[in-house]
Every structure is written in C-alpha cells, then in structure tokens.
Amino acid sequence: MRIVILGPPGAGKGTQAIEIAQARRITHISTGDVFRAASDSGTRMGLKAQEYMSAGKLVPDEVVIGVVEERLKQDDCTGGFMLDGFPRTLPQAEALDRILAAMGTRLDAVINIATPDEVCEKRLSGRRLCPQCKRGYHILWMPPKEDGKCDDCGASLIQRADDRPESVEERLRQYHEQTASLIDYYSGTGVLIDIPGDQGVEALADAIELKLDVLSSA
C-alpha cells in the first residue's frame, strides 16, 4: 500500500508509522528523520534544514519535494511506502500527486490522527532522546530507569531543540496554518481515514489497522 499519515506534531504519527510499515512490509519514510540525519552528517542541505527545524519552522517546499521525489524513486518503494511528515503543505500534496501519477500510481490511504493541541503539547514537552542509540523516552509515560540516562547505552538523554516549549508552540501554529487544510484536500478522495489520536498507542494502532484492512480489501 502507498500510505500517508497526517496529524499535528505530537499526535503519535512516527510511532504508528513505524508499526504500520513493519506490519505491512512497506518502506517507512520520515522526512523529519531524513533532515535530522542530513544535519547530523553535516551536509549543506542538512545544516540549512536544521536552522528551520530548531526554530519549529517548515523546511521550504522545493527542498522537501526534491528529497521525497528522489526517495520514492528508489527500489525499496516499489512495494509500497508509509510517508510520515510529508506532505505538510498544499504544494507538497499537489507535488506528491504529480510524482505518483508520473510513476503510474496513486495513494491508497491517508490516515489523519486528529489530536487536540493540549495533548500534543504534553506529549512533546516530555519527550527525551538518546543521542547515541536514538532510543526514545517520555518523562511521564516511559521514563528511563535512571534519571536522564539511556537504559540501553547509558548516554545522557537530550531534548530535541524543536521539542522545547517555544518551538512546540510554533510547530502547532504552522500545523494549523499550513497542514490542517490537507484534510480537506484529501476528503472526497475515498482514501481518507480519520482517527481520534487521544487514545493509547495500542488502541490507536488497532483502530488504524482495522480501517486499513477495509480499504485494502475494497
């Protein structure tokens, strides 16, 4: 299946996207991960993207569209993909349709995880990351055994620059300004799946799987 997952930052897109991609044996593509990796390796594109990311701003459309187009043309995407974090603007959604049409295909499902801002804020502000092995934690719901230290490799946990309160506020603002309208863009296409995000990880995953099964057997 060719799937897009939408939702505000903190809706749990990343976690669900990984699960779905594994369950359906399709390639998981997170544009946020692509930019973080590029920034860690210090490429020019990565360093530029990092400036936008730490301010909670969106990376310009032409950069993101180019990165996604290149990625979708790779062999591991022919069996399907799970796009996580893209599209985030109307021009990106239109570009995605064009790219897929040129490849002779189209989206099979667009999952929208609808989550109130307060829930997103609480989830993002408590998020911590191991910079070494990349394991994720949450200070309330998934704390490490020893305060501030990774259970697996012992490295000191960090907070992503864009999970700090001022960036979170900006990311939610950008979501409402630029991304929320994509729900209208996809409604009426017959592939939009709307799911309330204010529920546990497992319940959310089950609800998504059920709806994907219905779509894929239609």
Residues with catalytic annotation?
13, 88, 127, 160, 171
Inter-residue contact 31 to 84 (CB < 8 Å): yes
Q: Among residues 2, 7, 9, 183, which one has the least CA distance to residue 83?
A: 2
Among the listed ranges 57-65, 69-77, 132-140, 185-193, the one in contact with ligand AMP (CB under 6 A) is 57-65
Span from 53-61, 114-122, 129-137, 185-193 in contact with ligand AMP (CB under 6 A): 53-61
Question: Around Cβ 141, how many Cβ atoms within 10 Å?
Answer: 12
Among 16, 31, 39, 112, binds ligand AMP (CB under 6 A): 31
Is 171 an interacting residue with respect to ligand AMP (CB under 6 A)?
yes
Measured from the CB of residue 60, what is the shortest distance to ligand AMP in angstroms? 7
By CB under 6 A, tell whether 162 contacts ligand AMP.
Answer: yes
Q: Strand runs (DSSP E) across the chain, as ranges? A: 2-6, 27-30, 81-84, 109-114, 127-129, 136-138, 192-196
Rounded Cα distance, 1 and 77, in Å:
10
- Cβ–Cβ < 8 Å for 57, 24: no
Task: Note whether 85 binds ligand AMP by CB under 6 A.
Answer: yes
58 near ligand AMP, rule: CB under 6 A: yes
Alpha-carbon distance 99 to 2, whole Å? 13
Q: Is 8 in the site for ligand AMP (CB under 6 A)?
A: no
Residue ranges that bind ligand AMP, judged by CB under 6 A: 9, 31-32, 35, 52-53, 56-59, 64, 85-86, 88, 92, 162, 171
